[in-house]
A and B are shown apart, each in its own frame.
Chain A
């Protein structure tokens, strides 16, 4: 019974998240915003939290489930590699090189920026 309850709860929470997504998509289209419906839905949900309409705990099960299984939802897009055989053969290595170098650069820049601001504020505060 308890397990069934949990199951029903997860489904209900998922329905709320899907409904917010649908609402967000509709709003973005109706108002002609160039923003994906998911982002509008995210903003709507933050607004609901801010107005105390719902507590994050009310959606934690459904939201946690979606985020935990996120990989499953973008695996299909990866299968587009099927159509990129020629691209992979001709440019694959160079593409990997771009990704590798750029990732190192991003990580260094981000970490040192955050650390610098953090240290500066620590010095100023103490």
Chain B
């Protein structure tokens, strides 16, 4: 069964659910109502009983994903605006991003192998802590499944945004730099919006670090391909 008779039904539903969820989340600030969780949950609740396949869903909506390209371009604006911060703290940020990315990829890979997950799943887990527009192409380069990676990235973001707040309460971190980097490297976009709630400087650092980590990982892809 499909929603075939209505052209663009899935696109309409997606947009409607997104706008509704965004409005709800802005009013209530309840995390479960954020578009990241509520929209896929709603759409899956409609699509699963209808036995809709992903191919049918994406026939209407694939061009939304194509916008991730221009989104990547847009990241140049905050990078350029924050270049002073970058020049001042490049060593701390670069080392943090490198160490965090290595920790992310290695721990994902080893845990996945240890728990005997399928190789395709393990490879798709490797780029899970970077932001989606970078994680999907990296997954493809590594031999994983980009769509699967997008799902893992989402779970990482949701979990990381919630966990990061708890960790901050326990960790003896001196600098807003470290607090922001924790969110930017660990929980990408969802982490950035959480970091913005912690403080302005934290939010800025998180956003910057999120983009740069994505770039760093993508440029490391030729090396990573040989390793995994």
* A interface residues (Cβ-Cβ under 8 A, vs B): 14, 17-18, 20-21, 24-25, 34-39, 41-46, 49, 56, 59-60, 62-64, 66-67, 70-84, 87, 91, 94-115, 117-119, 121
Given A83-B54, A98-B117: 8 more A-B contacts, CB < 8 Å: A17-B73, A42-B72, A71-B39, A74-B133, A75-B18, A79-B54, A98-B125, A118-B89
Residue B208 CB within 8 A of the other chain = no
Q: Which residue of B lies closest to A87 (CB)?
A: B121
Partner of A70, one of B111, B116, B189: B189
Q: Report the bound CA distance from A33 to B57 in whole Å.
A: 31
Residue B200 CB within 8 A of the other chain = no
Q: Report the bound CA distance from A21 to B57 in whole Å.
A: 25
Instruction: Give chain B nearest CB distance to A50 CB in angstroms.
Output: 8
Instruction: Give chain A nearest CB distance to B171 CB in angstroms.
Output: 6
Residue B156 CB within 8 A of the other chain = yes
Q: Take A76-B58, A80-B151, A109-B99 as given contacts and tell me if A100 and B69 are in contact as well, using a CB distance cutoff of 8 Å.
A: no
A71 touches B111 (CB 8 A): no
CB-contacts of B96-127 with A (<8 A): 96-97, 99-100, 102-104, 107-108, 111-112, 115-118, 121, 125
Which residues of chain B come closer than 8 Å to A34, judged between CB atoms?
141, 221-222
Partner of A115, one of B134, B178, B185: B178
Tally inter-chain residue pairs, CB-CB below 8 A: 288
Partner of B108, one of A21, A41, A71, A98: A98
Query: What are 30 A-B contacts with C-beta separation under 8 Å?
Result: A14-B70, A36-B133, A37-B69, A38-B70, A39-B72, A41-B73, A42-B75, A42-B79, A46-B79, A56-B80, A71-B34, A74-B65, A74-B153, A78-B40, A83-B54, A91-B118, A94-B117, A99-B128, A103-B156, A106-B104, A107-B167, A107-B182, A107-B187, A108-B167, A111-B171, A113-B95, A114-B178, A115-B173, A117-B95, A117-B96
Which residues of chain A come closer than 8 Å to B65, judged between CB atoms?
73-74, 76-77
B150 touches A80 (CB 8 A): yes
Q: Take A36-B69, A74-B65, A98-B112 as given contacts and tell me if A103 and B53 are in contact as well, using a CB distance cutoff of 8 Å.
A: no
